[in-house]
Amino acid sequence: MVAFIGKSVSYLMPILAFVVAFEVFCRYVLSHPTVWAHDTALFLFGYIAALGGAYVQQQRAHINVDILYNKVSPRMRSLFNMVSFILALFFVLLVCKMSIGKFEEALKFNYRRQSEWAPHMHHYWLMMSVASGLLALQLVSDWVEECYHLLTGKQLLPENIRHTEEHA
């Protein structure tokens, strides 16, 4: 599920590039900027960044302090990862809770973005709730894997099974 969403949201990148290029063309060539392009670009970027977060976590593509991380044993790396994942999970759960609250408020009070176009905001907070929930689940899954590795010294899932699941 995480891989499907992460890969699917990547298809929004060319749309984001088109929206930005279209706005630049309208603004500087036609001297007639749009009222919707800036908000649309912000929403698209938010969707790409937030919904791609769980996929990036699944791929273990987030940054590390390699100077320290690469010098320790694999079990110590698992311990580092477990601490990082717990800290990240705390933050992500806060974001999820706040996003759900903001979604409810946006529906109740019909919140709109403060711009000339004034699009609705509820879809954005719903997406943030889903994205942070997915990232939280991925962090928990990764934490369990790292805990197993720390205790046994073995991988919970062999690499060939993990890659098969990602491509399914």
User: Model confidence over 11-49: pLDDT tens digits?
Assistant: 999 999 999 999 999 999 999 999 999 999 999 999 999
What pLDDT score was predicted for residue 64? 78
DSSP state of 149: H
Mean pLDDT of 112-119: 96
Residues spanned by the domain of 80: 2-167
Mean pLDDT of 114-130: 97
CA pseudo-torsion sign 151, 145, 59, 133: negative
Q: Could you tell me what percent of the chain has a pLDDT over 70?
A: 95
Number of domains present in the structure of the chain:
1
Amino acid letter for position 122: H
Instruction: Retrieve residue 145's tokens.
Output: 């894997």
Alpha carbon 143 to its chain's center? 17
List, in sequence order, the alpha helices (H) in the chain: 2-9, 12-24, 37-58, 66-69, 74-109, 122-152, 159-167
Instruction: Retrieve residue 148's tokens.
Output: 């197993």
Mean pLDDT of 106-129: 97
Contact 42, 12 (CB under 8 A): no
